[in-house]
Amino acid sequence: MYDQVKQRVPETLGDADRHYLEMAMELSRSYRDDQRRWPFGAIVVVAGTMAGQGVNQVVELNDPTAHAETMALRAACTTRRSHLLEDGVLYSSSEPCPMCLAACCWACIPRIVYAATSLAASFSWNCGSNWRSLMALLFIWK
Ligand SMILES: [Zn+2]
């Protein structure tokens, strides 16, 4: 299955997609060694401009909903002064969980681009393997 997806990625990801996905991955890397934050990052781009970014702050804020994606959505909604991001794209360092996916649906975000699958992220987290090597697995959902 991974081989099929890898072959599809170059056809579907544009330069802007790669740029913003790399930014989301860099956010996750920047907090990799911070015990208060889990290494996840997300960016919301609206109309070609970054409207918000977020990192996982679940432990730091004592908030189980403070995933990188929801934090990026909150920031983007504040920036745009709207609860709807109908022309937005969410870029995430890993596959959004069901809560974050539902939040994207409620915000009417039509497109999500993510790097690692939830399975790969879980494997990395539990086994302490190299996070960057797992980021090589690129997926897109539209
Ligand atoms: Zn989530």
Q: What is the pLDDT of residues 37-54, one digit of tens each?
A: 778 999 999 999 999 999
Catalytic residue among 26, 69, 86, 95: 69
Task: Say if CB 83 and CB 94 are below 8 A apart.
Answer: no
- The question of whether 69 is a catalytic residue gets the answer yes
Q: Using the 8-state DSSP alphabet, how is residue 48 labeled?
A: T
Report pTM.
Answer: 0.78
User: Ligand 1 centroid to 131 CA: how many Å?
Assistant: 18
Give the pLDDT band of residue 13 (cuts 50, 70, 90): confident
Write the pLDDT tens digit of every residue in 120-138.
665 555 444 444 444 444 4
- In this structure, which amino acid lies at residue 78? T
Q: In what side-by-side order are the strands of the sheet with 49-55?
A: 49-55, 41-46, 88-94, 111-116, 139-141
Q: What residues pack around ion ligand 1 (CB closer than 5 A)? A: 67, 97, 99-100
For residues 124 and 44, give the distance between their C-alpha atoms in angstroms, rounded to a whole number. Answer: 24
